[in-house]
Structure 1
Amino acid sequence: MSVTKEFVCLLNFLAIISGHRRFHSYNGRFGSSPSDTWNNDAPSRLFQPIPATYRLIQSGAPPQPYNRSREALQLPLLADGEPLANEIYIDIKEGLQYVFQTKSAWAFAAQGSATTAIQAVLDNLIEPGDRVLVGICGHWGDLMADIARRLDANVITIRKRTGRRFSFQEISSAVKRYKPKVLALVQGESTAGVFQPLDGIGDLCQREGCLFVSDSTSVVGMQAVMMDKLKIDAAMTGSQKGLGGIVGLAPIVLSDRAVERIKNRTKPPRGYQTDLIQIAQQWNATGDFQSYSVPLLYSLRESLALMAEEGMENTFERHAKATRQLHQGMEALGLRHFVDEPNDRLVGITTFHIPSGKDATKISDYMLNRHNIFISTGYGEIAGKVLRFATYAINADPTRVENLVMALKDALNSSETNIS
């Protein structure tokens, strides 16, 4: 005898109000189940509130967003694709043109983190067998080389010790020697806090016939990128770093040269969701490719609006002042910079050697447990060997920097952070 859907719904309702968490299956015209009950109970942890407490994130990881960017997540939801939502797309596009200092019409955001942007750009520009030259001076250069290899590119790397940058001559010699189709560099290597100057490299690439890709994730919003002036063909960032938004959108800007390369591919890019031509068509209201999180669009839009209202020069100066304040405070505590040359140091992300006799993990734990401040002890080949601090976005604030310095002073004075 078949069981009606209505009767099963009634049984389920009675089970719920009686406190049972097992839901009976049924056979009949609505389908069947191989067993009479679900195998798993609802996880008990899901009946508890999220155990999140406030803390200052000053580690180089995504910090708290600007208040206005966070509050934008609670705005009334628009339908993705309606006229008002399309205006948000336009605002973001124009905001990206402003912060990247470009007139390129190919400015938009993919869905995902900055790593998604790197993956998308390389996937769209590289075809199997293409020679790709990657400059590596930390984790993010290694990441780009890894992604390019997975795309079956012929990857050639030049490498500097973590904490050092390339000279123009080193890059120029490698480009002329290897004749790559794509040169990929990290403008801001946040592993150690290294800034890579890009002057003259765009001209070099145009003369040598290769495309110039810049991972500017840890530079946008903190220092000038100047995409058109530097003749960068593809630059990217994340919504959460210097822009001060929420993780989830990956701004990308392409030059006309890069777009021409993509349009002349012999095969489509491997990643469907990161097909940049289709994404760009959606942002230009000429296609309907995929659904976006409208609250994330709100948040990114407000981050860009804040930067426009403050003015880029003022934004950069605020970040520079906060970074100088951090340097002075840490130097007064006796800490040594990991990046030796002052001109090679990033604005907004700084690393210091661990003081003698101190344990990096114990310092980090002490800062979190005693002062509610989360810091990083490095990652990649320098994991556990440095203290890494962020003074960008909302953390580019003199009070926050002072609190960070005083908290670290307390941690270093405590015997609890000594090496066992």
Structure 2
Amino acid sequence: MPDPDRRLLLNLPPYPATGYAKLADRIAALIGTKNDVVFVQAEAVVALEAAATSLGAKGMTALNIVTSPYGELFGFWLRRAGADVIDLRAEPGLPVTVAAVAEALAGADRIDLVALVHAESASGILNPLPQIAKLAREKGALFLVDAVASAGGYELDVDALGIDIAIIGPQKALGGPASISAVSISARAWQAIDRPDAPRRSVLSLADIRHNWLDAGRGVLAGMPSALEFQALEAALDRVEAEGIAGTIARHLRAQRAARAGLVAVGARLWVEEERDASRLVTTILLPDGLDARKLAEDDAAVAAGLSAGIGCVASKLLRLDHTGRRASREAVLEGVRAVGRILDKAGVGTDAASADAAVAAAYAGEFGTGSGDTN
């Protein structure tokens, strides 16, 4: 017999037609924008592909900042759509520098679009969003930000920063479902998207979403919207709003600081030395020679503790501790730090479990300062 609680997920009534616009407005408030917010009824990588496919066109020149495989993909999608793409690659697994972006922009006669991933879960790094946003504005370029991981973990004031397109994935810091994405789109970004040669009749067409939903009065979404997913998104937003977005951000900052302190105390080597360059969603350690993060992450205990291998060219040497969403808690951070200690012990690396526990406790007791660090 099916689990009785699971049966409650079946035969849900359609999500209310008036509810979609309300959800979009609530997301807009969380990310600080009066721009249009639309839904892509799929996981965030589809929304990213839709943005690149809808924006990319012959005659466009884009500066695509690559700090992970996601940046690689975005450049591929832009080229496929016809754009000329300049890939600016950071050092493997590390943030891009403001100086490198400034040099790339200065060296180009014209840049129509700058694309950036804000917080990289792949390697646990943070790119300098405000400074790059300023450079993009000065160049007169459209500015697109992959904020899938950072929304909810960082203050994201879309309008103040001049972000023309922001892609949001509720499944990360917002603690919501993975099968719905949101995209905020400025008026000038719509001008670049809704053009005569724009892709149409495609799940990757943002122009279709505009005409089928925004222009139709923001009622029922096209296709067959999942009532289950939208109910889950509403529940996630209820929880974030009850905590307050400032509280959600502060909880991720505290989890980051506790994880970093605990991992250092246990004897691990942080991949990102400076907190300002590190993501609040995952904390990454550099494993000793001879250890493969991909093999270590296959262990059931490692998975349960929120440990996983890095993604991309640094995958084998980086082990990530996830403290995203509901895992941004003292209990989850402590479990992850202890799991790292056990892994290093098995590898013959001396660890100090007691000091690690104390460091996590001290972070949650407020001994590491109260500055928000919300400059990125």
Equivalent residue runs for 1:3-402 within 5 Å? 74=9, 77-79=12-14, 85-104=16-35, 106-178=36-108, 179-263=110-194, 265-269=195-199, 272-280=202-210, 281-282=212-213, 284-285=217-218, 289-366=222-299, 368-369=300-301, 372-402=304-334
Distance (whole Å) between structure 2 residues aligned to residue 146 and residue 336 of structure 1? 34
SS at match of 2:129: coil
Distance (whole Å) between structure 2 residues aligned to residue 313 and residue 108 of structure 1? 24
Deviation at 1:312, TM superposition (A): 1.1
1:39 is aligned to: none
Contact 2:201 2:208 in 1 (8 A): no
The letter for the 2-side match of 1:326 is A
Normalising by structure 1, we get a TM-score of: 0.75
Contact 1:242 1:392 in 2 (8 A): yes
Distance (whole Å) between structure 2 residues aligned to residue 314 and residue 288 of structure 1? 31
The letter for the 1-side match of 2:262 is G
Stretch moving more, 329-338 or 408-417: 408-417
2:363 is aligned to: none
Distance (whole Å) between structure 1 residues aligned to residue 247 and residue 98 of structure 2? 29
SS at match of 1:149: helix
- Give the 3 Å change call, closer, same or farther, for CA 49–74 of structure 1 in structure 2: closer
Deviation at 1:360, TM superposition (A): 2.8
Name the larger-Rg structure: 1
- Give the 3 Å change call, closer, same or farther, for CA 254–386 of structure 1 in structure 2: same
Distance (whole Å) between structure 2 residues aligned to residue 239 and residue 130 of structure 1? 30
The letter for the 1-side match of 2:71 is G
SS at match of 2:182: strand
Contact 1:129 1:154 in 2 (8 A): yes
Distance (whole Å) between structure 1 residues aligned to residue 61 and residue 295 of structure 2? 45
Deviation at 1:157, TM superposition (A): 1.0
* 1:185-234 alpha-carbon deviations (Å, 9 max, x no partner): 11112221111122244444344332111111110111111100100000
Deviation at 1:75, TM superposition (A): 8.3
Deviation at 1:49, TM superposition (A): 9.4
Stretch moving more, 209-218 or 168-177: 168-177
What residue ranges of structure 2 are gaps of 5+ in the alignment? 351-376
SS at match of 1:376: strand
Contact 1:363 1:417 in 2 (8 A): no
- Give the 3 Å change call, closer, same or farther, for CA 330–201 of structure 1 in structure 2: closer
Distance (whole Å) between structure 2 residues aligned to residue 302 and residue 286 of structure 1? 20
How many aligned residue pairs are there? 344
Contact 2:136 2:143 in 1 (8 A): yes
Normalising by structure 2, we get a TM-score of: 0.83
SS at match of 1:219: coil
Contact 1:88 1:298 in 2 (8 A): no
Contact 1:132 1:181 in 2 (8 A): yes
SS at match of 1:380: coil
Distance (whole Å) between structure 1 residues aligned to residue 84 and residue 290 of structure 2? 45
Distance (whole Å) between structure 1 residues aligned to residue 219 and residue 192 of structure 2? 21
* 1:340-383 alpha-carbon deviations (Å, 9 max, x no partner): 332111111121111345443453244x1588435212121012
Distance (whole Å) between structure 2 residues aligned to residue 77 and residue 86 of structure 1? 14
SS at match of 2:297: helix
Structure 1 runs of 4+ aligned residues shifted over 4 Å read 415-418
* 1:80-123 alpha-carbon deviations (Å, 9 max, x no partner): 5xxxx12321231122112211112x112201111111111112
Q: Give % identity.
A: 28
Deviation at 1:390, TM superposition (A): 1.0
Deviation at 1:237, TM superposition (A): 2.1
The letter for the 2-side match of 1:378 is G
Contact 2:63 2:111 in 1 (8 A): yes
The letter for the 1-side match of 2:41 is Q
The letter for the 2-side match of 1:315 is T
- Give the 3 Å change call, closer, same or farther, for CA 49–152 of structure 1 in structure 2: farther
Distance (whole Å) between structure 2 residues aligned to residue 169 and residue 371 of structure 1? 38
Distance (whole Å) between structure 2 residues aligned to residue 191 and residue 181 of structure 1? 27
Contact 2:44 2:167 in 1 (8 A): yes
Distance (whole Å) between structure 1 residues aligned to residue 257 and residue 37 of structure 2? 32
Q: Which has the higher contact order (CA 8 A, sep 6+)?
A: 1
- Give the 3 Å change call, closer, same or farther, for CA 371–167 of structure 1 in structure 2: closer
- Give the 3 Å change call, closer, same or farther, for CA 169–412 of structure 1 in structure 2: closer
- Give the 3 Å change call, closer, same or farther, for CA 416–88 of structure 1 in structure 2: farther
Deviation at 1:326, TM superposition (A): 0.9
What residue ranges of structure 1 are gaps of 5+ in the alignment? 1-47, 51-69
